[in-house]
């Protein structure tokens, strides 16, 4: 799989990364390519520099340095030789390539009427390796079930970047669609129809509309669609029972989620936040949380390359917020003992 990703890189860069020791290559999370600066990679929560012979070290002085030509070629390749077709991506600052790998971009910004129009002279790339972790949701899903409603609760998955939100969301979608509930009281439940609004093409990594990740048998994906509009489109057209979206946080997202709620659809969403206090500090999320929209909160954190999940219920989260109105942190460690779980799987793609 890594081999396929490396094919996107210019030959010289590829041959350096192909020489990485296998124990690092297998756990590769990020490749950071900066024009005229040392090549850096991230694996298992560490980041190191890569020498031309593929050896890794903390020392950046003898690291491999990608040049301007390589950066230009890379940009051309990931935009499929068509900068004009990637204007939206260049405005948002990332491109997703087949396989669901997101490549973050930085460089000179072009403004129009004070708003970012697009990126020019891209000089830094952050390639984030996407990995499907089948079964990574098996520890979490049982605690998200709404036994009375024979479905799942509205769930918000929360963590800082790079902790495996998208990976978990993807596997939840797969498990829910496949009816892989892993809970005695859910025995005999069928899978649910799942609609995914995949604004960044990271959850399902669609190619021409067809998911390339295993997202289960009952999954409809709106690829590259803005979340708020996508949620409404799915409700109108695809009769989903569960809707999954990545990285909510804008006012229109919240409106669409409320709409979904009243349409009888369950929502699983992810958001950037380091802990529950952050959720209650972000205006849009806080309002949703205080309204009691989410029935469960999943907090992710990584310790030594492993992802730990902790689940809060709505009551626990609201109680914690009431107890500490602006106090910090009521983070993962404040979660009730009983619902602490720990997944055996490692981390995966980013948020």
Partner 1 sequence: MIRWLGAALVLFAGTMIGFIQAARYAERPRQIRHLIHALQRLETEIGFGSTPLPEALARIAQALPAPLSELFADAAGQLEEGRGETVQVCWERAVTERWPATAMRQGEREAMLRLGASLGGSGKEDQQKHIRLAMAHLQAEEAAAREDQQRYEKLSRSLGVLGAALVVILMV
Q: Which residues bind partner 1 (CB under 8 A)?
A: 7, 10-11, 72-73, 76-77, 80-85, 87, 118
Task: Name the residue nearer to partner 1 (CB basis): 80 or 183.
Answer: 80
CB neighbour list of residue 138: distance below 8 Å, 6 or more residues apart? 175, 180, 182, 343
Task: Name the residue nearer to partner 1 (CB basis): 9 or 293.
Answer: 9
The DSSP output letter for 203 is S
Question: 49: which 2 tokens?
Answer: 């520099």
Task: Name the residue nearer to partner 1 (CB basis): 73 or 339.
Answer: 73
Q: Supply the minimum distance, in Å, between the C-beta of residue 117 and partner 1.
A: 8
Task: Name the residue nearer to partner 1 (CB basis): 80 or 323.
Answer: 80
Q: Supply the minimum distance, in Å, between the C-beta of residue 35 and partner 1.
A: 16
Query: Got the DSSP string for 119-177?
Result: EEEEEEEEEE-----TTTTTTTGGGGEETTTTEE--EEEEE-TTSSHHHHHHHHHHHHH
Task: Name the residue nearer to partner 1 (CB basis): 13 or 298.
Answer: 13
Paired residues of 194 in beta bridges: 219, 242
Three-state DSSP at 207 gives strand
Task: Name the residue nearer to partner 1 (CB basis): 47 or 73.
Answer: 73
Q: Supply the minimum distance, in Å, between the C-beta of residue 79 and partner 1.
A: 8
Task: Name the residue nearer to partner 1 (CB basis): 97 or 145.
Answer: 97
Q: Of 289, 285, 294, whose CA–CA distance to 322 is shortest?
A: 289
Q: Supply the minimum distance, in Å, between the C-beta of residue 70 and partner 1.
A: 9
**175 with 190: CB under 8 angstroms?**
no
CB neighbour list of residue 23: distance below 8 Å, 6 or more residues apart? none
Q: Supply the minimum distance, in Å, between the C-beta of residue 73 and partner 1.
A: 5
Q: Please calculate the CA angle 218-351-55 and round it to the nearest 5 degrees.
A: 115
CB neighbour list of residue 106: distance below 8 Å, 6 or more residues apart? 93, 119, 122, 123, 124, 126
Task: Name the residue nearer to partner 1 (CB basis): 119 or 245.
Answer: 119
Task: Name the residue nearer to partner 1 (CB basis): 118 or 192.
Answer: 118
Q: Supply the minimum distance, in Å, between the C-beta of residue 208 and partner 1.
A: 11
Q: Supply the minimum distance, in Å, between the C-beta of residue 159 and partner 1.
A: 34
Would you mind telling me the total number of residues written for the chain in this entry?
351
Q: Supply the minimum distance, in Å, between the C-beta of residue 86 and partner 1.
A: 9
Angle between helices 251-262 and 283-290 (to 10 degrees): 20
Q: Supply the minimum distance, in Å, between the C-beta of residue 224 and partner 1.
A: 12
Query: Got the DSSP string for 23-73?
Result: HHHTTEEEEEEETTS--EEEETTEEEEE-TTS-EES--TTS----HHHHHH
């Amino acid at each position: 799989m890594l081999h396929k990703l490396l094919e996107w890189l210019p030959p010289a860069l590829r041959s350096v990364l192909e020489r990485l020791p296998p124990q690092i290559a297998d756990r590769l999370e990020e490749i950071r390519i900066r024009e005229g600066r040392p090549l850096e990679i991230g694996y298992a929560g560490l980041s190191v520099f890569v020498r031309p012979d593929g050896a890794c070290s903390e020392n950046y002085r003898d690291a491999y340095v990608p040049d301007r030509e390589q950066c230009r070629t890379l940009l051309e390749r990931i935009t499929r030789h068509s900068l004009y077709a990637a204007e939206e991506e260049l405005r948002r600052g990332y491109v997703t390539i087949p396989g669901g790998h997101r490549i973050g971009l930085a460089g000179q910004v072009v403004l129009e009427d004070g708003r970012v129009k697009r990126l020019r002279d891209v000089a830094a790339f952050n390639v984030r390796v996407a990995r499907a972790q089948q079964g990574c949701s098996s520890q979490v899903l049982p605690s998200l079930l709404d036994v009375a409603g024979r479905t799942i609760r509205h769930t918000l998955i929360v963590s800082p970047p790079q902790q495996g939100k998208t990976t978990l969301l993807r596997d939840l979608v797969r498990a829910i669609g496949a009816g892989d509930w892993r809970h005695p009281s859910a025995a005999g439940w069928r899978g649910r129809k799942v609609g995914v609004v995949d604004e960044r093409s990271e959850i399902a990594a669609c190619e021409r509309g067809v998911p390339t990740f295993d997202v289960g048998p009952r999954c409809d994906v709106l690829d590259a669609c803005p979340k708020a509009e996508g949620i409404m489109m799915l409700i109108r057209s695809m009769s989903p029972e569960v809707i999954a979206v990545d990285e909510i946080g804008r006012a229109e997202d919240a409106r669409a989620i409320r709409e979904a709620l009243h349409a009888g659809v369950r929502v699983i969403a992810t958001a950037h936040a380091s802990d529950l206090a952050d959720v209650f500090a972000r205006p849009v999320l806080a309002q949703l949380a205080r309204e009691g929209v989410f029935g469960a909160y999943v907090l992710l954190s990584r310790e030594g390359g492993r992802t730990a999940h902790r689940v809060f219920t709505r009551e626990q989260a609201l109680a914690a917020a009431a107890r500490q109105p602006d106090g910090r942190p009521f983070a993962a460690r404040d979660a009730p003992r009983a619902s602490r779980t720990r997944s055996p799987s490692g981390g995966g793609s980013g948020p």
